[in-house]
A and B are shown apart, each in its own frame.
Chain A
Amino acid sequence: GENVEQHPSTLSVQEGDSAVIKCTYSDSASNYFPWYKQELGKRPQLIIDIRSNVGEKKDQRIAVTLNKTAKHFSLHITETQPEDSAVYFCAASRDYQLIWGAGTKLIIKP
């Protein structure tokens, strides 16, 4: 079955710098890759997603890249702000079930 690994588990960056979180997946048939942000005590919320027919997608300060050959995808956050502090989860899906990464705690230092 599918397995998703996410790194790093914790990431601390200076406010204004960029943050990059990486995920690898095992099932080459996976074709949908969402990223969710979860603030403390809140629900996970979709921030960006990408499908396997696209290599990159951008939405303001957030971008996701997908390398199908290497089976990895990454989340890029530029010009980080204090409100970016949260736990970020990647996931991969082929059919109905999302297989989740373990999460990355992003800390933005003032």
Chain B
Amino acid sequence: NAGVMQNPRHLVRRRGQEARLRCSPMKGHSHVYWYRQLPEEGLKFMVYLQKENIIDESGMPKERFSAEFPKEGPSILRIQQVVRGDSAAYFCASTGQGIETQYFGPGTRLLVL
């Protein structure tokens, strides 16, 4: 759905650098999900956040990865000290309170050289 925004759409990083991926949910939505997708594979859940709260981060690696959704501004997925294996498409999706349908952003394609 065009309402969920992600930037950048493409991001190239060298090994060891940091990657910051941003997601602005659809207007009125306060829940954000981050997914990772490798080529020819399915969607892998990473983290679920509400404003100022991490609800479920069970799918996110314990090291190098972090996520936040501040009171103001977009949700951010941060990957520190990137490695080649982090290359993937990262999608965020948003929902509203009591709404189950997830609406996806266009994704950020991360390439680690």
Interface residues of A (CB under 8 A from B): 32, 34, 36, 42-46, 49, 89, 93, 96-98, 100-103
Contacts and interface: CB of A to CB of B under 8 A. Distances in A.
A102 B96 CA distance: 25
B102 A43 contact: no
Given A34-B101, A93-B100, A44 B43 contact: yes
A65 B49 CA distance: 31
A89 B103 CA distance: 14
B104 interface: yes
A43 B43 contact: no
Interface residues of B, number: 19
A16 B42 CA distance: 27
A7 to B, nearest CB: 13
B43 A89 contact: yes
B104 A49 contact: no
B86 to A, nearest CB: 19
Given A89-B43, A101-B42, A43 B56 contact: no
Contacts of A44: 43, 91, 104
Contacts of B106: 42-43
A46 B101 CA distance: 8
Contacts of B43: 44, 89, 100
A93 to B, nearest CB: 6
Given A34-B100, A96-B55, A100-B43, 19 more contacts: A32-B100, A34-B101, A42-B106, A44-B43, A44-B91, A44-B104, A49-B100, A89-B42, A89-B43, A93-B100, A96-B48, A97-B45, A97-B48, A97-B56, A98-B33, A98-B45, A98-B102, A102-B42, A103-B41
Contacts of A34: 100-102
